[in-house]
Structure 1
């Protein structure tokens, strides 16, 4: 059965009856993680197959009262548990580039099934933090820079996971956008930025019925988020009517028993230090009301009952990395890999482009992303080099890492085509835990990209030296977010962003290079001409201010032309948009456009709808994304694509009235194939003075 919010709330009386029977100690036990980190680290030292979350992490559980243990599995590119059996999907940033809600829901189903196969009942892989600056090391775990898009993709994943009767956990709520300072930084911003930029995507996933929320490590306005009465109690539980439970981020998510319990924290994870006996004593000493404990226990019991008592879905280990799930991983890579530049280079011809030179150390690496808490252990990984060999077995592949530029140039002169594989790995970006930190059980180093958002110096030198030698040159970029290209892009004929493309990523890269698959990904971020066009961040700090504008909205507001616009991606076919229509209907703006495949092969296009606010009485973006649809078109085929934008997506937050308000004015509506004005058709719709329910 589908576990809806309404169904969960229907179990309130049953859950309350259970809570009423519990002692204080039993109720607090539900709020307490069970992992003994010292034992886990000792076991990891003895057994190479043991790693972070290799088995689900338990919390609570009172089987004598019919309440199952919460069993946690991490994500988001698959299930972290296991020792080499999980499907490793592409990172969320690549899946964001697909703009494909249906595919993300299907991936959610697969992940839910694999979570169950490991014995878990909660999946904590719905990561929707918004990268304020693309240098954030963990931004590969999220879908892109745009709040609306984050909410839509996070909602899709949540629905897929929970339709398998697995609790989904959305994270990291909130204002978690840096690694090196994540335990100490206090983020500050104004109220409009808070409500319009950094919280809407979380609300969308809450409204979709997500079962759990993980609070973040950082502070917000000077208060630790794991203790934050305003964020956890007032906004999440009271204003948004969240009916599930809040868990702390692991170990360092809370640091004060009384502040955490009173601030709205329901569960300490993954071990217990500040809850357990300390929380029992705090209640008995009158520092924490027992009603707080009752509320947390009710939330936990009700949620677990909803997902376990009538669970009709069971899966064995045969679903782990099975044919269907691996096919989904490959499909995601095919749909998300983004072609940024193509000067008549791609696709390569298997018949004429016989001698292929592959340059760059990453070409032979199993490079699937961060080695922190999101690390997934698949049965195999197809490298770019292996993928090229598999997809075009008749080609003569010559691989060279590229250290000697003179030798690389000699090889390039004799090749029919040159493929550079350049970018990052887990040492360059990822979850940051210092090597000397006591609890560094993940082995992560990673961190934020503090020095540069461009490629390594040796890779830039390789591209600039060898690129001009052979005009049939392709740069395949590996990384979790935007990579600067200005100092080398003119020396290369084609540029492809492959992100971290998962266990079948090498296959998808090769299929696109040789034209077996038509590229269709769209960048879920903007690429500027210079890093100074982006918001500036002090990555090692105790205080950081977030402005209202970031990403493409910042560039547009300042009149700065990007190198590559948000939502842009090339195809091997061509598309034409025409006959755009815009109207106000059913408390929404409805936009329609006819899309025609005018090229010589089938392909997918992603139609995007933006709303402009030039008539607003307050400061607002030039335009913001408010809808998208992916459409497949055969050669010569036309389809009408309709996108509906509810009025609530037009509102702004008025800090004087402390609520969202709808402006009655003319709005500009844009529909097309990227955020660039040249790729959009525009029209005007007017909201007069009617009474609209938002």
Structure 2
């Protein structure tokens, strides 16, 4: 038993019998063992742990374990160790051991995968599940048991600074990719999905209030979150922003009535970091279980609220039970021992990163130069010019909370040198446009690499308008508060990243493209970035154009494999590329209030009758593919379609079979993606594939009854290789008798 000093240090404010204060560091492991053996369910095991805890220990589950004085060095610690919440050493409870990162593990060196948006471009959930398994394994090897790596916020507008962390503009694609990553991560650690909900702007993320009607909320902005919950997500991170006037940490309508009551979520909810909690008691009552990552509001307010009766102990126990039962349940599923750190960035993991990067690259243009297309590069190539400041950069993307530090990174130039050992190379940074043009003119072919980096887009780490009262009572009002807020606003103007102010390339890049293509008609332009980069106004002179994203640590080798033809450009756009920004919804990065409706992306262009520069789902290959819909079955619960696919070209290639539906009674039908499947065919091969169909985009939700029913209209189905501009050849979407709900 513990000595008297331990008993005196523990306070008991509950109404039941006082727990026995013994040091039993094996209690948690015994709970996990009992759950694994089926002797107790996880909820009962959590209840037994709760019965042995003091209120101080229970309250300690509800926020981070680190003191608030660590706030200034969070960015430093973030990459060095897990952040722990709710550890109880006396009972052996390890707590939630947090790691971040949508493209890998942020702790130490790890495998840097392509950004999530690039992985969305693969349109391959099975591949994404493998990525999730690696992220989960490396997270666990670094001592964490929880990964906040699943970001499924919808791309409302591509100027969003963190667009690269999401899966694009479509709810079905986003839901399937997010669900796949969740399944993979959960093999090794608990999986957290973020940021719930309607978080898709960066500079004003702490203040913006999002208005949305019931139909747009449930039919556009939430389905992909539900898909991830259905895939088994253990935790949800609430967003900074307000929805309908309420900050998300106190938004009971979404955190409890939708997430738990309607969807049946049984895991726990955390705040976004530091400034994501606005009221200690109200957030707990609304359904936000853990304040992350420090002891801030709750550490100050909850003990007194519990003693005075303002906070019901049952509310504390409810969140404690969610946290502990989720932790026990997941730990009980783990079979293998903790992976060795030698697995981190292993050859197998790097090979997967390279495969994903290659399959993400989208070929937008590939014109004939003479008798053949410019790509893949001709085997007779002897002299190659590689131009652009990004050709030699380790350009992995955002440097905010998703930053990953791999042991090395392969640049595009290095990848090309490795792939073409017998070719003469000439390089130019592009700062001197005349020198770049001269280098291009002297070469057989020029590869020009332009685009964005972490200075142009990313997380806004310093943002004005935060609620600084979380730092202590001295910041609630007065000169200290005013000084901190003023400094934050000033600093926000000097920190890189944040929302983009334009969807165009830098003017210097455009000048470089025009000069190089004029000097050498055999010029390939490679775009680097996390979302839309407008091409109108300069791409007419470019014979070959690729979108290569932030390609991860093996991105240079992957790009070289696609350019040389040893790999197929397997990517398809996860968003529309319009001809100009006016075709998209308005976007004001300084807005304090915004309205989200059901008109965005490709759907907005369809409804307005605009033709995209490159439609949603578009991407070329090095062969030609034909699709033909054979038959389908469908009702309110979903369905499937059988599609015949034929490779009509002379080399093997991949295709993403895409199934779209629309109400063709409308003057301008709006395409809705229902399903997709990726496949590879040999030259001349023909085979059929069964594609699962999601009924969601064809349904509407009654706000009163919460029941789902078919949308009215004359619905048709079409198999296509991208979002269709014409519905010729579509077949009626048969609606067999289904069920509501």
Structure 1 length-normalised TM: 0.93
Partner of 1:68: 94
Which residue does the alignment assign to 1:283?
306
Does the C-alpha gap of structure 1 residues 658 and 440 become closer, same or farther in structure 2, counting only changes over 3 Å?
A: farther
The match for 1:325 is 349
Q: Is contact 1:246–1:267 with CA below 8 Å preserved after alignment?
A: yes
Q: Does 1:29 align with 2:79?
A: no
- Specify the alignment match of 1:100 in structure 2: 124
Matched, 1:174 2:197: yes
Give the distance between the partners of 1:662 and 1:9, measured in 2 at CA.
42
Aligned pairs for 1:235-254 (under 5 A) are 235-254=258-277
User: 1:613 matched to which residue of 2?
Assistant: 663
Question: Which residue in 2 is equivalent to 1:552?
Answer: 602
Q: Does 1:18 align with 2:66?
A: no
- Which residue among 203, 206, 228 is the counterpart of 1:183? 206
Report the Cα offset of residue 8 of structure 1.
Answer: 13
Aligned to 2:218: 195
SS in structure 2 of the partner of residue 129 of structure 1: coil
Provide the secondary structure at the position in 2 that maps to 1:64: helix
Determine which structure has more spread, i.e. the larger CA radius of gyration: 2
Whether the 8 Å contact between 1:52 and 1:442 is mirrored in structure 2 is: no
How big is the shift at 1:453? 0.2
Tell me which of 701, 707, 716 is aligned to 1:653: 701
> Which aligned pairs between 1:3-14 and structure 2 lie closer than 5 A?
10-14=41-45
What's the offset of the Cα at 1:380?
A: 0.3
Give the Å deviation of 1:43.
9.6
CA distance in 2, matches of 1:584, 1:625: 14
Which residue does the alignment assign to 1:232?
255
Q: 1:649 deviation in Å?
A: 5.2
**Do structure 1's residue 671 and structure 2's residue 719 form an aligned pair?**
yes
Deviation at 1:449, TM superposition (A): 4.2
From 340, 352, 367, give the equivalent of 2:395: 367
CA 379–483 in structure 1, closer or farther in 2 if over 3 Å, else same: same
2:306 matched to 1:256? no
Q: Cα distance 1:172–1:483, how it changes in 2: closer, same or farther (>3 A)? A: same
SS of the residue 1:318 aligns to: helix
**Deviation at residue 441 of structure 1 after TM alignment:** 13
C-alpha contact (below 8 Å) 2:219/2:696 kept by paired residues: no
**2:733 counterpart SS class:** strand
2:739 corresponds to:
692
TM normalised by structure 2 equals 0.87
Matched residue, 1:467: 517
- SS of structure 1 residue aligned to 2:398: coil
- Would the aligned equivalents of 2:661 and 2:718 in 1 still touch at CA under 8 Å? yes
- Structure 1 residues 312-345: Cα deviation after superposition (integer angstroms, max 9, x where no partner): 2220111100011111100100111110111124
1:646, CA displacement in angstroms? 4.9
Worse-matched range after superposition: 426-435 or 142-151: 426-435
- Segments of 5+ residues of structure 1 without an aligned counterpart are 45-49
The residue number in structure 1 matching 2:83 is 57
1:117: which partner in 2?
Answer: 141
Any idea what SS the aligned residue of 1:642 has? Answer: strand
Structure 1 position 298, deviation (Å): 0.2
For 1:537 and 1:43, locate their aligned partners in 2 and report how far apart those are by CA, in whole Å: 31
Q: Return closer, same or farther for 1:350/1:35 CA change in 2, 3 Å cut-off.
A: farther
Aligned to 2:626: 576
In 1, Cα distance between the equivalents of 2:422 and 2:183? 43
1:311 positional shift: 2.9
Q: Provide the rounded CA distance (Å) in 2 between the counterparts of 1:212 and 1:460.
A: 44
CA shift in 2, pair 1:665/1:193, >3 Å: closer
Among candidates 666, 670, 676, match of residue 628 of structure 1: 676
1:331-388 Cα offsets, whole Å, 9 max, x none, are 1001111101111243244542221111111111100000000000000000111111
SS in 2 for 1:126: strand
Please report how far the alpha carbon of residue 447 of structure 1 lies from its aligned counterpart in structure 2 after TM superposition: 3.6
1:663/1:220 Cα in 2 relative to 1: closer, same or farther (>3 Å)? closer
Change (3 A) 1:178 1:42: closer
Task: State the 1:214 CA deviation.
Answer: 0.4
Measured in 1, the distance between the counterparts of 2:112 and 2:244 equals 37
The CA distance in 1 between the partners of 2:347 and 2:358, in whole Å, is 16
Give the stretch that moved more between structures: 300-309 or 174-183: 300-309
Task: Tell me what 2:482 maps to.
Answer: none
Task: Assess, with a 3 A threshold, how the Cα gap between structure 1 residues 138 and 240 changes in structure 2: closer, same or farther.
Answer: same
Assess, with a 3 A threshold, how the Cα gap between structure 1 residues 198 and 349 changes in structure 2: closer, same or farther: closer
Structure 1 counterpart SS, 2:78: coil
Please say which of residues 313-322 and 278-287 is displaced more in the overlay: 278-287
- Structure 2 CA distance for partners of 1:210 and 1:444, relative to 1, 3 Å: farther
Contact 1:648 1:662 in 2 (8 A): no
Q: 2:362·2:570 contact (CA, 8 Å) conserved in 1? A: yes
Aligned counterpart, 2:437? 409
Structure 2 CA distance for aligned equivalents of residues 338 and 574 of structure 1:
15
The reply to whether residue 527 of structure 1 matches residue 565 of structure 2 is: no
* CA shift in 2, pair 1:51/1:288, >3 Å: closer
- Unaligned 5+ segments in structure 2 are 1-31, 464-485
User: Does structure 2 conserve the Cα–Cα contact (< 8 Å) formed by 1:173 and 1:214?
Assistant: yes
Query: Judging changes above 3 Å, is the alpha-carbon distance between structure 1 residues 648 and 533 closer, same or farther for their aligned structure 2 residues?
Result: closer
- Residue pair 2:99, 2:146 contacting (<8 A) in 1 also: yes
CA change 1:221–1:620 in 2 (3 A) is farther
Change (3 A) 1:52 1:14: closer
Q: Of 173, 186, 189, which residue of structure 2 is paired with 1:162? A: 186
Comparing 600-609 and 57-66, the one that deviates more: 57-66
CA distance in 1, matches of 2:632, 2:418: 47
Partner of 2:17: none
Of residues 322, 325, 345 in structure 2, which corresponds to 1:302? 325
CA 1:568 to 1:188, structure 2 compared with 1: closer, same or farther past 3 Å? same
RMSD between aligned residues? 2.8
Please report how far the alpha carbon of residue 558 of structure 1 lies from its aligned counterpart in structure 2 after TM superposition. Answer: 1.2
- Is 1:130 the counterpart of 2:154? The answer is yes
Taking the aligned partners of 1:378 and 1:318, their CA distance within structure 2 comes to 14
- Measure the CA separation in 2 of the matches of 1:8 and 1:376: 41
TM-superposed deviation, 1:425: 0.5
Counterparts of residues 404-483 of structure 1 (less than 5 Å): 404-434=432-462, 445-483=495-533
Does the CA contact (< 8 Å) of 2:115 and 2:549 recur in 1? Answer: yes
- For residue 599 of structure 1, report the CA deviation from its aligned partner: 1.0
CA distance in 2, matches of 1:259, 1:587: 37
Give the whole-Å Cα distance in 2 for the aligned partners of 1:460 and 1:264: 50
CA distance in 2: counterparts of 1:356 and 1:113, whole angstroms = 40
SS in 1 for 2:259: helix
SS in 2 for 1:205: helix
Aligned counterpart for 2:539 among listed residues 460, 481, 489: 489
